[in-house]
Amino acid sequence: MIDALGYTFMQNALIVSVLGSIACGIIGTLVTVNRMSAFAGSIAHASFGGLGLAYLAGFDPLLGATGVAVASAAGIAVISSRKRERTDTAMATMWATGMAAGLVFIKLSGTYSADLMSWLFGSLLAVSASDITFAIILDIVILLVITGLYKEFLSVSFDQEFSMLQGVPTSLIRGLFLILTALTAVLLMKITGLIMVIAMLSIPAAIALMFTGSLWKMMLLASILAALFNLAGLSLAWMLDLPPGAVIILIAAFAYVVSLIIERIRSETA
């Protein structure tokens, strides 16, 4: 493992793992307490359509994924703003439509590339310098927005109606939340692939929720856990020659089960 650190691709993988954990812990916490994991899964899968389009039209796939992720987040917000009960259908439709469009575009483009598999299942060992730049900018934006508007994010997540009565711009806060979730989903695709983004946004935050009593502590613990899962998964995958994204998810799932057992024992002895 130590000798692997000499390789640039391994250094890049480590850097993106840690940078991704910051976004993952903070946004994953908001996704979890707002019960929006289906939304995160939906925009991650929808962005496959953007990837297909990028391959067909020949522009940067990262741009395609980002554009479609943000557009589908906005689409779900608009469809569900009028009628809350439509949210579920909107998310399911977006989820499947994006995948279907992606497949059609890729067939049309005539490329069946390994690149595509890397978007589906992660490509941690092939991250580029531009991926690192994207991660740094996203982390800075998330940290600025969440620290600047922490009390608003906390109150809108806890009680949206009361926040609105207090004059908090709830639509602005929700809009920021949806956009940041879409961007984080794109970043995490690089690590675990778009199919498993939903797990990275849910599992570290779900474990953190069991052991913390306030939102910022939950964000902090979820970020630390995500970093541990990423680094442990990356090391284990390197040693056993397995795909890192999948190993990361398996480690996270194992930690989740262990946490559930610990919580069970704690509540029985308490």
Residue placing its CB nearer to another protein in the complex, 63 or 149: 149
What is the SS3 assignment for 59-95?
CCHHHHHHHHHHHHHHHHHHHHHHCHHHHHHHHHHHH
Neighbours of 194 (CB within 10 A): 28
Residue placing its CB nearer to another protein in the complex, 108 or 165: 165
SS3 label, residue 143: helix
Tell me the window of 46-54, 127-135, 152-160, 249-257 that interacts with another protein (CB under 8 A). Answer: 152-160
How far apart, in whole angstroms, are the C-alpha atoms of residue 237 and residue 131? Answer: 21
Tell me the window of 46-54, 59-67, 148-156, 247-255 that interacts with another protein (CB under 8 A). Answer: 148-156
Interacting positions 76-135 with another protein (CB under 8 A)? none
Residue placing its CB nearer to another protein in the complex, 107 or 217: 217
The maximal CA–CA distance of the chain, rounded, in angstroms, is 61
How far apart, in whole angstroms, are the C-alpha atoms of residue 201 and residue 108? Answer: 32
Residue 148 CB, shortest distance to another protein, in Å, is 4
Residue placing its CB nearer to another protein in the complex, 109 or 155: 155
Render 228-249 in DSSP notation, one character per residue.
Answer: HHHHHHHHHHHHHT--HHHHHH
Tell me the window of 38-46, 150-158, 225-233, 234-242 that interacts with another protein (CB under 8 A). Answer: 150-158
179 makes contact with another protein (CB under 8 A):
no
- Residues within the interface to another protein (CB under 8 A): 33, 148-149, 151-152, 154-155, 157-159, 161-169, 209, 212-215, 217-218
